[in-house]
Chain A
Amino acid sequence: MAVIFDLAVQGAQMLSVLLLAPLLIGFVRKVKARLVRRQGPSVIQPYRDLVRLMRKEVVLADNASWLFRVTPYLIFAATWVAAALVPTFATGLEFSWAADLIVIVALLGSARFFQALAGMDVGTSFGGIGASREVMIASLAEPAMLLIVFSLALVAGATQLSTVAAFMGSPQVGLRVSLGMSLIALVMVAVAENARIPVDNPATHLELTMVHEAMILEYSGRHLAMIELASFLKLLLYMSLISCVFLPWGLESAATGPRSLAIGAAAYLGKLAVLAILLAVFETAVAKMRVFRVPDFLGAALMLALLGTLLLFVSRSL
């Protein structure tokens, strides 16, 4: 019985991240529109977009290979699995021990690897420019992310996200400089990884200024729907990660019963709303930077994360 309940909670987690992700994007877009005094599309517009894309035909370039057609499903699957492994409304889910935080980072790396390859498959300059800039951004964002993971792991004594979240919710955390540095670095990495302003502009219409959009320029129809859904999931994943590590209130182990699950779910929705509003405000307030300023931005994140880790290493003996 307990196993069935655990599996049901895990299944609910997988479904809920899938269903929530478009709503989150719709909400961010709505807030951004309201901030610049536009009406903006409805919050459920991303669902409509996905359905519309699925109904449309796929236009494949003449020389697109099998890799191009398989990649959307791989990207989606890797991102979905990663998103399902981050605690949202409860920790200690049935499969949470299958992968720790390092694995989650690497799963996103797998998704990006295939996305960059798909960008190069057709052999247009836009795909190439997108892929080469994406790997440049990733080559700085990924080590920064891993160093953030190191900091968290050193504080909590584990890379297992459920354990980290439980530790961060307990009173023994205290105020630490390293955690502050990690939070700032994590936000910077999240902005870059999700192709948000100031690193990339998700709403641009000029191919040359895009990174993520340039890579997927050749995609259409159901393939594009999968990739879009994966990118929605990625934003949800990063917000879940930030909220479960740095805002762990209301997050309980799944074994404590339905009541705490309900509290966890309500708290989770509240945290997502707050983070979405913060993201919208931030994006409205800053301008996109030139692509070769991005390494400075991410280099700062990398240095902050390294400094945080270094402080933890050194402070162990004090």
Chain B
Amino acid sequence: MISTVALLLCGPAALLGTAILAAAASRHAAATRLVYGAALVISAALLVTVAGHLAGNPGEVSAITLPLGLPWTGARFRLDGLSAFFLVVVNLGGAITSLYGLGYGRHESAPHRVLPFYPAFLAGMNLVVLANDAFSFLLSWEFMSLASWALVMAHHRDEANRRAGTIYLVMASFGTMALLLAFGLLAGPAGTYAFDAMRTAHPDRFAAGAVLVLMLLGAGSKAGLVPLHAWLPLAHPAAPSHVSALMSGIMTKVAIYGFIRVVFDLLGEPAWWSGIAVLLIGGVTAVLGILHALMEKDLKRLLAYSTIENIGVIFASLGLALAFKANAMPSAAALAFTAALFHVLNHSFFKSLLFFGAGAVLSATGERDMEKLGGLIHRLPVTSFVFLVGCVSISALPPFNGFASEWLVFQAILLSPELPQWGLKVIVPAVGGMLALSAALAAACFVKAFGITFLGRARSAAVERAHEVDRWSLAAMAVLATFCLLAGILPGFVIDGLSPVTLSLIGDRMPVQMAEPWLSIVPIAESRSSYNGLLVFVFIAISASLAAFFIHRFASHALRRGIAWGCGFADAVPAAQYTAVSFAQPIRRVFGGFAFRARETVEMPAPGALEPARLKVDMHDVTWEIFYQPITGAIDFATERLNHLQFLTIRRYLTLVFLYLVILLLVLALWP
């Protein structure tokens, strides 16, 4: 009997085989269809295998050691509850993205730069989740990073994409370096690289703290935590749209998997202050991410910034789980942890959906600048509907899925006054306020994203020529929209499905939800709080249809089309409509002062002059200026100074060598 993990490893192997074949035959006409078809089949097979494992015996652990990699370590792989859940996320996303790719990939101008790397990227993500020792984890992680980097660079003739690729490469290397150091600390002086050995060896407090910080740097930079997010809004949108969906919806989740694996599993019992660090970073990331998204007018960059917000929500929830776990409150920790994992799943659904929608808009109009779109609801009726579902879900509005997980996060926050430490008592309500603020700003952001892109009048000729996209893409988006609704109205299924993971990592689980009457979810007790997405959905549907029925039965049916009310002065051109920038102006005035050091100045022409007055907006990316510019400045400074050493005469070189020798000998002589 072949073990489940061995069966699962066939998936990445098959994906890698597809990648090699694709590299050989990528210029062939049928290559696009074959590669995405193969990726779809393999991802679906992996999904079915994992689902079978979860349905059969979810708590079971299956491990294997392969004679690959370094001769004295071997490559270990393992399937447990946590990796099974993330395999579901990765392969569900991979399968639906491949479905979308079947249609969207046909518009690709350079398929030979996308096709070989796409299955390799999927294989890398699968391997990260399955890896069971530091070496194969890091190798898969780097493989995943490089494959996605190649995909970002698919359209490398564009200057902006090259810059995005460079920054991504630097940040990915930095992240991997942090992970390498973290695993080095976990492995200890004995150099035990297997996760099983790390799990039993508990590092001392100092080393544990250092590992936490290094994981925040390493996994956080891949997930997009502020201030390590700088690459994300550049790189995610630069890739082809379905790859953007994979990077934003799935790869950030793999980074979260890495964080959970090390901090919740390998590191042993957490210290209470680790909760504070993760909570604070999560809250700040959520607010800053969504504020940046609001200021954006490029549709795909807006979505990338909103990913940062959602990662912040997930990390805040994980921080809460850490704080509860450290204080031996397992049921509360299980609630916060379940909320985080539920949001992981939800975000992979709606962010993929939204990136697919942005891709559909891009292939229909050739534009991702919202200021040149508008009125697409008439041209792309199906795309606009499913995009609207995605917008409602990500804005955390009931009865869709985003709300269900945010509701759980808020319930977890309400349990935290029981925490004994004062630091946590002060931080948790503040972070709760930040999450509430980011939820409200997210709704504003997606009113803007949908309203400017799909509503109003067309702002360019390209929009008026747009046509609905192909059926593969529509099918992929429709499937995701259905998932968004289902996970929203039946959250109990998901929560119960997550219980093996919380049981293995937290040691407790949320109460069984499927036993509740009417399929409502009750985290603690019904008198305390309960939510029934299904009933709310049915209620809204019934009262809306009742109202519509009543109106159509008794009220007037007359309807007349006329020109819009312009208050006596109709806008002559569509460009005079509200734009993305003007829509965000009130919020920029409220929050821009401290978040972006935004300044508005009006340049008035001299009296009598005929040129128009101009409004200038000056905004700064504060994190870039605080964290990145000093580093690049220091490197520039150092290289400029050291540059002189390149042009010395031979005498001076000899003097330098001699001086160096003397110093070396002196150090050796004085060393105790």
A262 nearest CB across to chain B (Å): 26
Q: How many residues of A contact B (CB 8 A)?
A: 85
Q: B564 near A: Cβ within 8 Å? A: yes
Min CB distance B147 to A, Å, is 37
Which segment, of A32-40, A155-163, A236-244, faces chain B?
A155-163
Residue B420 CB within 8 A of the other chain:
yes
Bitwise, B512-535 to A at CB < 8 A (1) or not (0) is 000000101000001111111001
A302 CB, min distance to chain B CBs, angstroms = 8
Contact A309 B443 (CB under 8 A): no
- Interchain nearest-CB distance for A134 vs B (Å): 9
The interface bits of chain A over 112-140 (1 if a CB of B lies within 8 angstroms of the residue's CB, else 0) are 11001100111111111101110110111
Kindly state whether residue A225 has any CB partner on chain B within 8 Å: yes
Chain B 547-578: CB-based contact to A (< 8 A → 1; otherwise 0): 11001001110111111111100110010111
Q: Which of A117, A139, A150 contacts B414 (CB 8 A)?
A: A150
Q: Chain A at the B interface: mostly helix, strand, loop or mixed?
A: helix
Q: Identify A295's interface contact among B429, B439, B574, B590, CB under 8 A.
A: B590
Q: Which residues of A contact B429 (CB under 8 A)?
A: 147, 150, 306, 309-310, 313
Query: Which residue of A80, A135, A141, A157 contacts B543 across the interface (Cβ within 8 Å)?
Result: A80
A73 at the interface (CB under 8 A from B): yes
Contact A58-B410, Cβ < 8 Å, known A117-B450, A143-B440: no
Q: In angstroms, how far is the closest chain B Cβ from the Cβ of A14?
A: 8
Question: Which residues of chain B come closer than 8 Å to A65, judged between CB atoms?
Answer: 377-378, 455
Judge if A317 is at the interface, Cβ distance under 8 Å.
yes
Given A107-B398, A116-B447, A128–B564 Cβ distance below 8 Å? no
Contact of A98 among B418, B520, B554, B567 (CB under 8 A): B520
Determine the residue in chain B with the shortest Cβ distance to A119: B451
Assess whether B634 is interfacial by the CB under 8 Å rule: no
B587 touches A136 (CB 8 A): yes
Least CB separation from B397: chain A residue: A110
Q: Does B411 contact A (CB under 8 A)?
A: yes
In the complex, which residues of chain A have a beta carbon less than 8 angstroms from the beta carbon of B532? 97-99
Which residues from chain B contact A56 at a C-beta distance below 8 Å?
Answer: 556, 558
The answer to whether A109 touches B443, judged by C-beta atoms less than 8 angstroms apart, is: yes
> Is B582 among interface residues, defined by CB-CB distance under 8 A?
yes
Q: A138-B443, A143-B440 are in contact. Are A76 and B547 (CB under 8 A)?
A: yes
Q: Quick check: A61 and B430 within 8 Å, CB to CB?
A: no
* Interface residues of chain B: helix, strand, loop or mixed (majority): helix
Indicate if A259 sits at the interface (CB-CB under 8 A).
no
Q: Which residue of B lies closest to A79 (CB)?
A: B543
**The one of A78, A80, A110, A158 that contacts B529, using a Cβ cutoff of 8 Å:** A158
> A316 to nearest B CB, angstroms?
4
Chain A neighbourhood of B589, CB < 8 A: 292, 295
Q: Say which one of A1-9, A196-204, A214-222 lies at the interface with B.
A: A214-222
B59 interface residue (CB < 8 Å to A): no
A154 interfacial by beta-carbon distance below 8 Å: yes
Max chain A C-beta neighbours (<10 A), residue from B429, B541, B548, B590: B429
Contact between chains at B413 and A139 (CB < 8 Å): no
A124 to B574, CA, bound (A): 9
Residues of chain B lying within 8 A (CB to CB) of residue A310: 426, 429-430
**Least Cβ–Cβ distance between B423 and chain A, in angstroms:** 11
Decide if A159 touches B425 in the complex (CB within 8 Å).
no
With beta carbons under 8 angstroms apart, the residue of B392, B420, B562 that contacts A59 is B562
Q: Mark A51-81, 1 if CB is under 8 A from B, else 0.
A: 0001111111111011100000110111011
Instruction: List the 4 closest A-B pairs by CB distance, nearest first.
Output: A128-B578, A123-B456, A57-B558, A120-B451
Q: List 23 A-B contacts (CB under 8 A).
A: A54-B554, A54-B556, A57-B556, A60-B560, A95-B539, A98-B535, A100-B531, A107-B398, A110-B398, A113-B395, A120-B583, A123-B457, A124-B570, A128-B456, A128-B578, A136-B444, A141-B440, A150-B410, A160-B528, A222-B551, A222-B556, A313-B416, A316-B417
Q: Which residues of A are interface residues toward B (Cβ below 8 A)? A: 54-63, 65-67, 73-74, 76-78, 80-81, 95, 97-100, 102-103, 106-107, 109-110, 112-113, 116-117, 120-129, 131-133, 135-136, 138-143, 146-147, 150, 153-154, 157-160, 163, 207, 217-218, 221-222, 225-226, 291-292, 295, 302, 306, 309-310, 312-314, 316-317
